[in-house]
Amino acid sequence: MSADTLIAPLHGLANTLGTGVLPAGGPLPNTAKAAAASHRAAADAEQGARSLSGSWTGRGGDAAARASSSASRRHQRSATANSSSASIVETASTRVGQAAAEVRRLVDSFAKAASSLGPAIHSIEGLMALLPVAIDHVARGVATVVKAQGELASDAAKLLADSRHTAPKPVPAPVDHQRDGDGHHGDGRHGDHREGDDKKDASLAITLPNGRVVYAPNARAAKAVRAALSQRGVPYVWGGTTPQGFDCSGFTQWSYRQAGLEIPRLAQDQDEAGYRVDQAQVQPGDLAVWDGHVAMIIGDGLMVEAGDPVQVNPIRTTNLDQGFQGFYRPR
């Protein structure tokens, strides 16, 4: 046994911990550049929206201004996420560097204690005298590393939280099944089975989970709604695009893909797949689009969405703190 043997665990901790110095050419500089570029793009898009609203009137101008504002919000979210990620990584690097410096200080401290013994360090008596010092230094080194691990776990959780979309929680809403004199729902819901529906094209008919029969505006929308309803109960998975797990936009994209229509991947972009409709005119297959969420209207005042799990809820226009873009009919 030697002094080096006594302090070997501390050297092992130092080697495992590393230095905390990020490698040259790593992703951090590019992340910072991406954040700056996104900030500039957001500002340009917002300026474009203001210019359009003042110089281009009518429905076309309004649509162009909304598109520019939506692009600005997307770029701003990207910039915020990139800046936050870069900051978290830099903080984590600093934590590792500080922990590594403390472990090195403990190694140096032990070396001085061993050196102070002089020739006695080569004797059993000297090593026995040095053993409590080694135990103390190793224990302090372990405590330093455990603390750093806890802080890094917190940093990793923040990094993951910045990059994920939260599965929406159902928002309770009153459901009024009373009809007006025309056979429509009083809250503007359409698609119910009414007198004369038996003459409608059966390919457009959709049987809802509550047993009611509604009619889609076209066969493609009907297929998309049926596909969506077939996935009720599938768990929410961030980034999920298959029946093994869906996120909100992956779910609506998959549903329309079964009907032969490819729509954009991101929720906030799926309004580009169609045209805007008023809430009073929504029909099965229409999409309710927020800045970071999307759901599919199925009729009878209901919509289906990839919550956790895929589920049917009353139509709403609120979702957490996200801005509502409107209702859109894919085409």
| DSSP secondary structure letters along 189-210 | ------TTGGGS-GGGEEE-TT
Burial label for 270, CB within 10 Å (0-12, 13-18, 19+), is buried
pLDDT tops 70 at residue 278? yes
SS3 236: strand
Superfamily of 197-330 according to CATH? endopeptidase domain like (from Nostoc punctiforme) (3.90.1720.10)
pLDDT tops 60 at residue 322? yes
State if pTM tops 0.85: no
Cβ–Cβ under 8 Å, residues 325 and 70: yes
Q: 155: alpha, beta or left, given left = phi > 0 and alpha = psi -120 to 50?
A: alpha
pLDDT tops 60 at residue 18? yes
Segments making up each domain of the chain, as ranges? 3-163, 197-330
Q: Which helix (H) or strand (E) holds 144?
A: helix 124-163
pLDDT tier at 19, thresholds 50, 70, 90: confident
Task: State mean pLDDT over 88-98.
Answer: 86
Total residues found in the chain within this entry: 331
Under DSSP, the state recorded for 188 is S
What is the C-alpha separation between 90 and 72, in angstroms, rounded? 27
**The most confident of 42-56, 94-108, 167-181, 239-253, by mean pLDDT:** 239-253
Of 191, 238, 239, 234, which is closest to residue 212 (Cα–Cα)? Answer: 191
pLDDT tops 80 at residue 69? no
pLDDT tier at 137, thresholds 50, 70, 90: confident
SS3 297: strand
What is the C-alpha separation between 38 and 43, in angstroms, rounded? 9
pLDDT tops 70 at residue 164? no
Supply 308's token pair: 């956790």
Which active-site residues does the annotation give?
A: 248, 293, 305
pLDDT tops 70 at residue 161? no
**Which residues, 6 or more positions from 291, have their beta carbon under 8 angstroms from its beta carbon?**
70, 73, 74, 77, 267, 268, 322, 323, 325
